[in-house]
């Protein structure tokens, strides 16, 4: 059976089908004869796959039954031998490894590194303690979101940044342009792009699994804190307690030459399985977490996206981040539309599904949606007119040209389990 993935990166969707063997097939082929069509598809798939970037775990994925698809210019596993639903439930009940090596990892060096980063993002970086991180946003002068990212203030004399693969070129160019301005003004700051692998271990049994490979007491590493340590004999791993599933978890930055070794040592524990993009997407949606290009982009502001909490108090008072003159007034005056959660039964709700008022007027659009494996009902994120954004409001969604009842719901849909100590 074909496993289908619709990928939205940077606002564009690409329909791909992953075969049992893991090859790519592009949805929507032409009208050539069947044999010619199959040959063309094989040739196109082979060429497309060859052009894709590969993580250090690419061969490992293939060896373990990974069905590979294109994601943000990378060849990534959408799922393995287990079904998407089985991987999702396993992560909620045990723990799973996700390859996230496609993400952009950056270090910001220099005496003026905090000033530099605060010129680009909305967070109060200076107030962070050593080895503490925060979710933040690159914003533009119009108040739009260029990307979301995690910024960690390490005790090693640099900031550690992880940002989205789909925005890697854009983010890099954005930081380099600001770096040139800072250097021209005499500031001490430098960028270093890391060539490390990155894996995420996510799920309620993560701590028990990982503790076996650490000398340090993992209970002292709380949500959004980070440490540089040895993991199962692999030195110089940056372990950050965070993730994209809503579960307790870590992301481990590790040298490319030893990521397979580390992954195999983690998989030696029966609690751990591999999981792919499909499970990652449904897990993050249950947790109410945004996907850049779907739920946030340069046409949405932090206020519309209900991400005001990412803006530091001092930054609001000083109005000294990009787009502050647009964003700060929105906090006080509210916005015409708002990102909300919604639930429904019946046919699944997907991206671009129209959201309707009870009398059938279009009041918004779904940005992400899927059947929830845990809740056994449809969940989605959407932007709707602010008048309809209150939790519990009865609305409709248009699925297959039919109006289906739905309800505005608070997020996360499934309670998050981040470890706070």
Q: Which domains does the chain have, with CATH numbers?
A: 57-101+196-287 (3.30.1360.120), 336-409 (2.40.30.110)
pLDDT level of residue 43 (50, 70, 90 thresholds): low
- Residue 338: is its pLDDT beyond 80? yes
Mean pLDDT, residues 3-15 taken together: 32
- Tokens 């690419």 correspond to 58
pLDDT at 398 over 80: yes
Better-predicted residue by pLDDT, 154 or 37: 154
Binding-site members are 251
Query: What's residue 8's pLDDT?
Result: 32
Helix ranges (H only) for 148-235 are 168-184, 206-211
Distance from C-alpha of 373 to C-alpha of 107, rounded to nearest angstrom? 37
Please state the rounded mean pLDDT for residues 331-346: 96
- Per-residue pLDDT tens over the stretch 193-244: 999 999 999 999 999 999 999 999 999 999 999 999 999 999 999 999 999 9
Q: Which of 8-17, 292-301, 400-409 has the lowest mean pLDDT?
A: 8-17
Q: Which pLDDT band, with edges at 50, 70 and 90, does 50 fall under?
A: confident
What's the mean pLDDT in 7-23? Answer: 33
Instruction: Cite the annotated binding site for substrate by residue number.
Output: 251
For residue range 88-128, list pLDDT tens digits in order: 999 999 999 999 999 999 999 999 999 999 999 999 999 99
Average pLDDT along the chain: 91
- Partnered with residue 292 across adjacent β-strands are 296
Give the pLDDT score at 150. Answer: 98
Q: Cα dist. 22→46, 58, 65, 111, 363 in Å?
A: 11, 12, 8, 47, 40
* Listed residue (84, 124, 111) closest to 2, CA to CA: 84
Residue 99 parent element (H or E)? strand 95-99
């Amino acid at each position: 059976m074909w496993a289908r993935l619709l990928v939205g990166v940077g606002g564009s969707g690409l329909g791909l089908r992953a075969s049992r063997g893991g090859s790519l097939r592009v949805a929507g082929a032409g009208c050539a004869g069947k044999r010619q069509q199959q040959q063309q598809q094989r040739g196109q798939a082979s060429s497309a796959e060859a052009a894709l970037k590969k993580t250090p775990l690419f061969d490992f994925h293939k060896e373990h039954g990974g069905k590979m698809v294109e994601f943000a210019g990378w060849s990534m596993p959408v799922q393995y031998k287990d079904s998407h639903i089985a991987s999702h439930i396993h992560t909620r009940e045990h723990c799973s490894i996700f390859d996230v090596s496609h993400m952009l990892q950056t270090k910001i060096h220099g005496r003026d590194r905090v000033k530099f980063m605060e010129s680009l993002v909305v967070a109060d970086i200076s107030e962070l303690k050593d080895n503490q991180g925060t979710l933040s946003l690159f914003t533009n002068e119009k108040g739009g979101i260029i990307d979301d990212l995690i910024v960690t203030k390490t005790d090693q004399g640099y900031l550690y940044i992880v940002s989205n693969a789909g925005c890697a070129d854009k983010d890099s160019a954005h930081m380099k342009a600001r770096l040139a301005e800072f250097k021209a003004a005499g500031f001490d700051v430098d960028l270093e792009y890391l060539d490390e692998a990155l894996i995420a271990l996510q799920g309620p049994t993560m701590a028990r699994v990982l503790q076996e490979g650490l000398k340090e007491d993992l209970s002292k590493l709380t949500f959004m804190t980070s440490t540089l340590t040895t993991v199962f004999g692999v030195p110089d791993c940056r372990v950050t307690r965070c993730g994209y599933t809503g579960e307790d978890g870590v992301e481990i930055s590790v040298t490319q030459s030893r990521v397979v070794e580390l992954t195999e040592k983690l998989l030696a524990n029966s609690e751990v399985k591999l999981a792919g993009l499909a499970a990652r997407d449904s897990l993050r949606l249950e947790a109410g977490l945004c996907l850049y290009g779907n739920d946030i982009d340069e046409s949405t502001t932090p206020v519309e996206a209900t991400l005001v909490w990412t803006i530091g108090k001092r930054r609001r008072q000083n109005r000294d981040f990009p787009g502050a003159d647009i964003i700060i007034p929105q906090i006080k005056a509210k916005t015409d539309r708002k990102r909300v959660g919604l639930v429904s039964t019946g046919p699944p709700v997907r991206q671009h599904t129209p959201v309707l008022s009870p009398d059938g007027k279009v009041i918004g659009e779904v940005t992400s949606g899927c059947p929830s494996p845990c809740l056994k009902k449809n969940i989605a994120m959407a932007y709707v007119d602010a008048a309809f954004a209150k939790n519990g409001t009865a609305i409709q969604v248009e699925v297959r040209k039919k109006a289906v009842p739905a309800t505005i719901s608070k997020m996360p849909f499934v309670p998050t389990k981040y470890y706070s100590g």
